[in-house]
Structure 1
Amino acid sequence: MSWLHIMIFIPFIFALFVPFVYKWFTPQVHTGWFVLAAPLAVFLYLLKYIPTISAGEAIRSDLPWMPSLGINYTIYIDGLGLIFGLLITGIGALVVLYSIYYMSKEREALHNFYVYMLLFMGAMLGLVSSDNILVLYVFWELTSVSSFLLIAYWYQRKNSRNGAQKSMLITIFGGLAMLAGMIMLSMVAETYSIREILSSTEMITADSLFLPAMILILLGAFTKSAQFPFSIWLPDAMEAPTPISAYLHSATMVKAGIYLVARFTPVFGGSAEWFWIVSSVGLITLIYGSVNAVNQKDLKGLLAYSTISQLGLIMCLLGVGSASLYFGYGDESTVYAFAVLAALFHLINHSTFKGSLFMVVGIIDHETGTRDIRKLGGLMSLMPVSFTLTIIGSFAMAGLPPFNGFLSKEMFFTGILTVTESPVFGMESLGLAFPIIAWIASVFTFIYCMILVFKTFMGKHRPERLDKEAHEAPIGMLIPPMILGGLVIIIFFFPNVVSKYLLQPALIAVLPRFAETGGIDVNITPWHGWSTELIMTIGVIGFGVLMYRYLRKWSPLYGYFPQVLTLNHMYNQSLAGTEKISLKLTKKYMTGFVRDYLVYIFTFMICLLGSALWLSKGLSFDSSNDAPIHVYEGGVIVAVLIAAFTVLLAKSRFTAIIAVGALGYLVTLFFVIFRAPDLALTQLVVETVTAALFLLCFHHLPELRKERSSIPFKVTNLLISLGVGTIVTLIALSVNNHRLFESISGYFEDSYSLAGAKNIVNAILVDFRGLDTMLEILVLCIAGLGVYTLIKLRLVGREKE
């Protein structure tokens, strides 16, 4: 195992020790100080790869897992993986530091909190660094499980449990769809390696599985990144503690879908289907999130919908930029590639200002006891540092200078305008809709950013509405958002440093054809002259100020939207309907009769295996090598059939038991005929004991009485018995004629020389499988002792009575 693998597994390693640290050192020392070392160590370790990766190289390390199946845990870190790795560990370290002051070590189960967070951190690191698609899927689902635990951390609250359930159902559904798509890709490319799949683009594009695989993978990405209409889980996930919200829902988990789309753009990008689906869903999510954010009364709810909106913006840019692969080489390809660069830039910017805002909202909640905008106001003088940080984060999200969001928002407008200036995939008629919708969404973004600042910190302070006396947070809680707020400003003044060392290598990972030119030559500056983008920004500010000024007059329009048509209502109704249908269905087949359950099982077996035999090509039954059937063997077969039908048609238990015993003894005759005396003796003893036990047990059972069953007995028994017997016989005959591997009987041919046994069966049972046989005997001994103990206790109880 390489050092790279060890660093990726560090969060999991730390998670093993967290319960012991919590037990030994709490309440003297906060557990977070121990946990902080994990993300900080990985972050510093990844920093050393920046020069290497910015030079056009990638880091790779192999760890064999199941090499015979072509499944290994191969770590591959390129420019795209590096950005996500730095965000996961960097934001993770700041969130852990923030949680030390936010989470009370006296009142909270910190060992659970930090174990869940480290599991999530490790899963995200594994996800963005895995080269094997099956390993990636394992980490993908681990993020869903760990986020479920984090969202339901305060499991005593009903809303927390419901939010965790909703996120789990939606993201797991998408994960299973994604797995199916990835399996299709591996079937076409004949490999599980993402690197090799990316090099097989032409073969995948020409295959009939191209479109189904694309749709299934996008389902996984859209559900994880809260794209419309799967975005309903994100607001409900705000029931988690603020450090969790700041980590999962601003910088990491919701970005996993973005990573997936960016990673597979080289495979599916350049196709009209990918362009339309990704860009359209992103644009709809952008407008949906921004419009709904304005109507929120809870600060975390506002940030949740703003996150949905910003994720839609990034997704839309990735969809638009994928058209670069359609043009090949040339100026038009470079123009569309600029949209991908803007997406990557906004990915970083969003993590900085949204992480800072979540932390500030957590501070407001922590120090005032409420997040309700209607109760807040006038906090500017009481919480000046929080106010300053809110201005930095909100104005960056609104796209105002001098903050990094202004730069990526201008690049967003440039990327969206590309579809009107250089139409592709039928954009000649619909291209104008893209910048119009983007501009409207930006106006609403500006409005909810102003709400966040002015409704919280301006106006009249009403302490009677607050649960606590408002005051500034301790310095330890302010340091993490201050670091992120500082990055917001620093990136604005030095964007090309980020572009050179992070954005350009990531662009090459998303659009590999630019590897020859080292990316695209772009100089990110705040001022580009009087351009269309600047005019759009001025329009956003002007119209946004006007709409915010008259917010009370037009905001009641939200109340006219019918609740029946909301996505949450549809989800709740579908969940309730599914539960009702499943309850009715369960009552239908859960009859309480074991026989009914066996009927279902055997019927499914007949249908499944029978259809498989029917559809199998090249299936044949060769009896040329079979031994001839003698008259006495035929007589035994007839006797077996008679005994079997007697069991089937018996009207009393006694008759059925005798028929079953006779059937067992007739099987013993087959062992004698086939010269297996040891098996015959074993069968004879077992059958005698079994028949005796059956008679003893049934003697003490109540009289047989007719029970109401939805399935007629005798005809069904006959049909199912014949069906199962026929299917098993056909499978046995077909298997005997279609040997895929060499028989293992040759391995036991020298049993006499190896084990000194003249009987090969005895040699297998006693020597070759001696340990297995000993354990089977041990199980029988334990079962016998248990039966003896129960009988003894029953007899002792009767004596006492």
Structure 2
Amino acid sequence: MSWLYLMIFIPFIFAIFVPFIYKLFGTRIHTGWFVFFAPLAVFLYLLKYIPMISKGESVHSKLAWMPSLGINFTTNIDGLALIFGLLITGVGALVVLYSIYYMSKEREALHNFYVYMLLFMGAMLGLVLSDNILVLYVFWELTSISSFLLIAYWYQRKGSRNGAQKSMLITIFGGLAMLAGLIMLSMMTDTYSIREILSKVDLITSHSLFIPAMILILLGAFTKSAQFPFSIWLPDAMEAPTPISAYLHSATMVKAGIYLVARFTSVFGGSAEWFWIVSSIGLITLIYGSINAVNQKDLKGLLAYSTISQLGLIMSLLGVGSASIYFGYGDESSVYAFAVLAAMFHLINHSTFKGSLFMVVGIIDHETGTRDIRRLGGLISLMPISFTITVIGSFSMAGLPPFNGFLSKEMFFTSMITVIESPVFGMESIGLLFPIIAWVASIFTFIYCMILVFKTFLGKHRPEKLDKVAHEAPIGMLIPPMILAFLVIVIFFFPNVVSEYFLQPALIAVLPGFAAAGGIDVEISAWHGWNTELFMTIGVIVLGAFMYYYLRKWSRIYSYYPQVLTLNNFYNQLLAGMEKLSSKLTKQYMTGFVRDYLVYIFTFMIALLGCSLWLSKGFSFNATNDAPINLFEGGAIVAMLIAALTVVFSKSRITAIIAVGALGYLVSLFFVIFRAPDLALTQLVVETVTAALFLLCFYHLPELRKEKSKVPFKVVNLLISLGVGVIVTLIALSVNNHRLFESISYFYEDSYTLAGAKNIVNAILVDFRGLDTMLEILVLSIAGLGVYTLIKLQLAGREKK
């Protein structure tokens, strides 16, 4: 039996104990040492699946949740899920280790930090391992909520609050759109299982909901993975502490959208719409992020836009690779499938070099007190280890050998050239734009990588501009980025090991049509001869170095771009406009007059219920089988009418309260007539208490003032009151004549045998619906405690005065 689903719960279980550990040990032992074992344990457990997954197999586990609704907590691990699972836990363990030395146990609320971190980690694991689309959505939204908490960790800062709000609004919007798309998929396939959905591709592609479902799911993926134009939330999220940035924005959260696109490529891929949307948005995001990264003055801002750029690169590869389905998994399709392999490879490489760079930037900030590039420089002699790690990570991101980014960048160029050599979906005319955009974006990537290295570590050291005396970080803080930098180099020299055990299984998971062939035959090597890709790389280096050298002269062009046309300005204007519109609309109906609110409620009730029953022809009743009304019952009804009219036309509050009480007592009389003495006693007690409370409350109100009301005012009141009375009466009469289902009263007739109760009402309240009664008592208790607290606070305030 597989305990895979249990691995998802481990972070949540650890999160429960974190506050107690923090309170128990306080500042004596860093809470991170306890948290560190959660991702480490899951990472080591997932390693055992590598031999099995590398053979093209997958592992499933199931935990019953709501089986009657077809919703179970089913998990599935294949090549794609394994890569993400290992990244989530492996990088997570390194980030936790890094945070132990980065986050001060004396000054930081570490219990909050690690609870949020573990919640996010568990949500990401649940997202990538889930086989149920509804469970996937639950974890998807949990990642948005937990990332909101992480980004707003330093909530005292306005920037942190704004960044968290922006990320929440954009990703939640995408999540809701994705939910609608997933529901459409379940409607088309009559299943919630992702594996079963993937097996019914023919049914989906021929359905009328194919395009709407595709667009909605892509909205979710694009917002989460910061694709253009939704990328504006990622730079603002850099207000979070560096460990959070290193974890969320290099290895995990921003990769969730990549996972979603990869997972559903076999469903929507092969269509021109999917190809053009995914590849085009990816390329636009790639060049948008790389161009903006060059203009950043903050190191984390530079890394934020570089992350946007790299995510666009991976997304464009998935879009291009989806064309392989169009060719039917033949030899020609393997040319495009190569792009999917490249996407998975760069996914791994990006997590290694970008994770190490985020950590180094955090070290620079931690040890110098600033991330402003204009204040930095000359740190190479003071922070040699950090400089070495930065060189490895930056040169890998720039696509230079001997680092893993060079290999996946060459594969990226190869995939972009493919669209020219083997055009599909009308690319004959504009296919040349793909490699051109890729090449131009790579030049800007080279430039901002050089900025990161040379502007920070070379040049003149200016200690007077730093907030701290610069020095190298402690070894504990350096170990995690050193491990990632080491992997950057190891992967470069042993790429085919990664391909055999990770990339090929992931390719089969994304494009299951290649399962029979065991993937595609690819030999990853650093030297391919003097081909187009190599000449493109040489051009990137030459032109990139030239542009970097003259950066000051041409970078002024950024200042000419009007700020009113920026995406952030559009977002701010949209948010401000929505707030103004909602405020204006709210003021139209929130008048502060209770009568108006009752008019809205009752008018809506009359319209909704009246129209629904009229259209469904529900207004019908037959009184032939009803029991006759005797003189005593008729007299009680007349008395109730008189009491009700007295409440309406009374000019004294005391008279109205007494009339309401009399009406309640008359209702209890009917309970006696219909042989329900316990209900009658309950009604009497309730009416007595209610009347007393009314008298107590109204005693403190000002006297009634006689004001002349306009005729339309009274007419509206009359019409609404008559309408409500008529609708409720007709519904009551119609319900008695429409029995769509067999009555459940027969079940309660055997209450003595089932519950040992001689009173059927007591049996229903205490036994059959005991949970409802308990919750009602709980609500009343909470309300009572609230009232008691308010009274105590008011009395305490008076004593202070």
TM norm structure 1: 0.90
How many Å separate the matches in 1 of 2:226 and 2:605? 40
Counterpart residue number, 1:34: 34
Deviation for aligned residue 1:683: 4.9
How many Å separate the matches in 1 of 2:604 and 2:5? 45
Contact 2:250 2:307 in 1 (8 A): yes
Aligned to 2:131, the other structure's residue is in SS state coil
How many Å separate the matches in 1 of 2:28 and 2:449? 41
Counterpart residue number, 1:212: 212
Deviation for aligned residue 1:308: 0.3
How many Å separate the matches in 2 of 1:46 and 1:788? 53
Paired residue type of 1:38: A
Aligned to 2:264, the other structure's residue is in SS state helix
How many Å separate the matches in 2 of 1:770 and 1:299? 60
Deviates more, 1:14-23 or 1:629-638: 629-638
Query: Judging changes above 3 Å, is the alpha-carbon distance between structure 1 residues 539 and 623 closer, same or farther for their aligned structure 2 residues?
Result: farther
Deviation for aligned residue 1:471: 2.0
How many Å separate the matches in 2 of 1:671 and 1:358? 73
Contact 2:2 2:60 in 1 (8 A): no
How far does the alpha carbon of each residue in 1:499-519 deviate from its partner, in whole angstroms, 9 at most, with x for none?
Answer: 111011111111111111111
Paired residue type of 1:136: L
Counterpart residue number, 1:798: none
Contact 2:54 2:501 in 1 (8 A): yes
Deviation for aligned residue 1:6: 2.6
Paired residue type of 1:414: T
Counterpart residue number, 2:598: 598
Deviates more, 1:275-284 or 1:693-702: 693-702
Paired residue type of 1:623: N
How many Å separate the matches in 2 of 1:249 and 1:508? 27
Query: Judging changes above 3 Å, is the alpha-carbon distance between structure 1 residues 280 and 734 closer, same or farther for their aligned structure 2 residues?
Result: farther
Query: Judging changes above 3 Å, is the alpha-carbon distance between structure 1 residues 712 and 498 closer, same or farther for their aligned structure 2 residues?
Result: farther
Deviates more, 1:635-644 or 1:99-108: 635-644
How many Å separate the matches in 1 of 2:498 and 2:292? 32
Aligned to 1:191, the other structure's residue is in SS state coil
Count of aligned pairs between the two proteins? 791
What pairs up with 1:335-414 in 2 under 5 angstroms? Answer: 335-414=335-414
Deviation for aligned residue 1:619: 5.2
What pairs up with 1:46-85 in 2 under 5 angstroms? Answer: 46-85=46-85
Query: Judging changes above 3 Å, is the alpha-carbon distance between structure 1 residues 694 and 367 closer, same or farther for their aligned structure 2 residues?
Result: closer
Contact 1:297 1:374 in 2 (8 A): yes
Contact 2:395 2:403 in 1 (8 A): yes
How far does the alpha carbon of each residue in 1:174-193 deviate from its partner, in whole angstroms, 9 at most, with x for none?
Answer: 11221222222222222221
Paired residue type of 2:558: Y
Deviation for aligned residue 1:535: 2.0
How many Å separate the matches in 2 of 1:277 and 1:98? 38
Query: Judging changes above 3 Å, is the alpha-carbon distance between structure 1 residues 14 and 627 closer, same or farther for their aligned structure 2 residues?
Result: same
Counterpart residue number, 1:181: 181
Paired residue type of 1:478: L
How many Å separate the matches in 2 of 1:789 and 1:369? 46
Deviation for aligned residue 1:486: 1.3
Contact 2:71 2:132 in 1 (8 A): yes
Contact 1:657 1:691 in 2 (8 A): yes
Q: Percent identity between the aligned chains?
A: 84
How many Å separate the matches in 2 of 1:472 and 1:171? 37
Counterpart residue number, 2:468: 468
Contact 2:619 2:731 in 1 (8 A): no
Paired residue type of 1:557: I
Aligned to 1:64, the other structure's residue is in SS state strand
What pairs up with 1:669-684 in 2 under 5 angstroms? Answer: 679=679, 683=683
Contact 1:225 1:256 in 2 (8 A): yes
Kindly indicate whether residue 532 of structure 2 is the aligned counterpart of residue 532 of structure 1.
Answer: yes
Counterpart residue number, 2:302: 302
How many Å separate the matches in 1 of 2:31 and 2:82? 28
RMSD between aligned residues = 3.4
Paired residue type of 1:475: I
Query: Judging changes above 3 Å, is the alpha-carbon distance between structure 1 residues 702 and 209 closer, same or farther for their aligned structure 2 residues?
Result: same
Paired residue type of 2:107: R
Deviates more, 1:283-292 or 1:267-276: 267-276
Contact 1:396 1:403 in 2 (8 A): yes
How far does the alpha carbon of each residue in 1:274-326 deviate from its partner, in whole angstroms, 9 at most, with x for none?
Answer: 22221111111111100100000011100000000000111111111112222
Deviates more, 1:594-603 or 1:235-244: 594-603
How many Å separate the matches in 2 of 1:410 and 1:778? 64
How many Å separate the matches in 1 of 2:657 and 2:238? 63
Query: Judging changes above 3 Å, is the alpha-carbon distance between structure 1 residues 654 and 214 closer, same or farther for their aligned structure 2 residues?
Result: same
How far does the alpha carbon of each residue in 1:735-770 deviate from its partner, in whole angstroms, 9 at most, with x for none?
Answer: 556655432111133457778988755665687668
Paired residue type of 1:312: G
What pairs up with 1:504-523 in 2 under 5 angstroms? Answer: 504-523=504-523
How many Å separate the matches in 2 of 1:597 and 1:670? 33
How many Å separate the matches in 2 of 1:276 and 1:492? 32
Query: Judging changes above 3 Å, is the alpha-carbon distance between structure 1 residues 452 and 653 closer, same or farther for their aligned structure 2 residues?
Result: same
How many Å separate the matches in 2 of 1:306 and 1:241? 18
Aligned to 1:232, the other structure's residue is in SS state helix
How many Å separate the matches in 1 of 2:52 and 2:335? 27
Aligned to 1:65, the other structure's residue is in SS state strand
Counterpart residue number, 1:115: 115
Aligned to 1:231, the other structure's residue is in SS state helix
How many Å separate the matches in 2 of 1:700 and 1:238? 54
Contact 2:619 2:730 in 1 (8 A): no
How far does the alpha carbon of each residue in 1:522-544 deviate from its partner, in whole angstroms, 9 at most, with x for none?
Answer: 11112222222222222212221
How many Å separate the matches in 1 of 2:570 and 2:790? 55
Deviation for aligned residue 1:114: 1.6
Paired residue type of 2:374: R
How far does the alpha carbon of each residue in 1:427-472 deviate from its partner, in whole angstroms, 9 at most, with x for none?
Answer: 2222222222121111111111111111112222222222222222
Query: Judging changes above 3 Å, is the alpha-carbon distance between structure 1 residues 790 and 517 closer, same or farther for their aligned structure 2 residues?
Result: closer
Paired residue type of 1:230: F
Query: Judging changes above 3 Å, is the alpha-carbon distance between structure 1 residues 388 and 675 closer, same or farther for their aligned structure 2 residues?
Result: closer
How many Å separate the matches in 2 of 1:756 and 1:520? 70
Paired residue type of 1:252: T
Query: Judging changes above 3 Å, is the alpha-carbon distance between structure 1 residues 636 and 324 closer, same or farther for their aligned structure 2 residues?
Result: farther
How far does the alpha carbon of each residue in 1:567-613 deviate from its partner, in whole angstroms, 9 at most, with x for none?
Answer: 11122222222223333333333333333333333333344444544
Counterpart residue number, 1:438: 438
Aligned to 1:520, the other structure's residue is in SS state coil
Paired residue type of 1:44: L
Contact 1:648 1:717 in 2 (8 A): no
Paired residue type of 2:225: S
Deviates more, 1:337-346 or 1:22-31: 22-31
What pairs up with 1:422-571 in 2 under 5 angstroms? Answer: 422-571=422-571
Contact 1:647 1:660 in 2 (8 A): yes
Counterpart residue number, 1:587: 587
How many Å separate the matches in 1 of 2:213 and 2:75? 24
Contact 1:596 1:711 in 2 (8 A): no
Counterpart residue number, 2:139: 139
Query: Judging changes above 3 Å, is the alpha-carbon distance between structure 1 residues 391 and 700 closer, same or farther for their aligned structure 2 residues?
Result: closer
Deviates more, 1:570-579 or 1:398-407: 570-579
Query: Judging changes above 3 Å, is the alpha-carbon distance between structure 1 residues 671 and 293 closer, same or farther for their aligned structure 2 residues?
Result: same
How many Å separate the matches in 2 of 1:423 and 1:596? 65
Counterpart residue number, 1:415: 415
Paired residue type of 1:539: G
TM norm structure 2: 0.90
How many Å separate the matches in 1 of 2:20 and 2:703? 59
Contact 1:648 1:718 in 2 (8 A): no
How many Å separate the matches in 1 of 2:5 and 2:324? 34
Paired residue type of 2:324: S
Counterpart residue number, 1:797: none
How many Å separate the matches in 2 of 1:491 and 1:789? 62
Counterpart residue number, 2:799: none
Contact 1:228 1:285 in 2 (8 A): yes
How far does the alpha carbon of each residue in 1:634-683 deviate from its partner, in whole angstroms, 9 at most, with x for none?
Answer: 88777766765665565554665565456546656755675656656765
Counterpart residue number, 2:622: 623
How many Å separate the matches in 2 of 1:99 and 1:485? 18
Deviation for aligned residue 1:422: 2.3
Deviation for aligned residue 1:16: 2.0
How many Å separate the matches in 1 of 2:394 and 2:140? 31
Counterpart residue number, 2:575: 575
Contact 1:648 1:714 in 2 (8 A): no
Contact 2:423 2:431 in 1 (8 A): yes
How many Å separate the matches in 2 of 1:734 and 1:528? 81
Question: Which ranges of structure 1 fall in alignment gaps of 5 or more residues?
Answer: 795-801
